[in-house]
Structure 1
């Protein structure tokens, strides 16, 4: 379930902050629809939990899931010195600084 590189990156980011699909897409440089699909799969697997209602729904790592700590283990095993992870965290900090609170985006299908 979490083997896809984008899903691992999403888990790594959601371990640091509650993020919307739009924020994740912006940080990862991936289209919103693709991120939404990955987030839905991770939420169904109980790796992520969501807060709020669309379009302000945000996601975070589900530390209290019934997976025996698998989610946290995956995040702990991420190569934190990896260029992608380091850049993702830098973009996360930049996004926190520039995005106004309460900003939402809609995914048009």
Structure 2
């Protein structure tokens, strides 16, 4: 039970939930996430590291850069997908994040 509580506590932060929501839609670097979320890179990097350690995110190395995406094949893939599915589509932050992601991908 402690493992489940620890994993839920890892995800239980608004910024980390926003990161999961974005990484469910695209493979993103810390820099891209920081720009979309309008947060400092250091803060985003810290959140991404926590999510990767919890096996919620997968790291994809591309030369000197790393990008991250939702770990759909991890041991708790059901949990991470459940958390993403719980994100309200009418939430202002989530809606804006997805709009910014779409704009960044179009650029």
**Range into which the TM-score falls when normalised by the shorter chain:** 0.7 to 0.9
Give the 5 Å matches for 1:23-102: 23-53=32-62, 55-67=64-76, 69-98=78-107
Greater helix content:
2
Q: Which sections of structure 1, spanning at least 5 residues, go unmatched?
A: 99-109
C-alpha distance in 1, partners of 2:64/2:96?
A: 26
Q: TM-score, normalised by structure 1?
A: 0.86
* Cα RMSD after superposing both structures: 1.1
Q: Which sections of structure 2, spanning at least 5 residues, go unmatched?
A: 1-9
Greater strand content:
2
Structure 1 SS opposite 2:33: helix
Deviation at 1:97, TM superposition (A): 1.9
Aligned residues: 98
Structure 1's consecutive aligned runs of 4 or more residues displaced over 6 angstroms after TM superposition are none
* Structure 2 residue 36 is the aligned partner of structure 1 residue 22: no
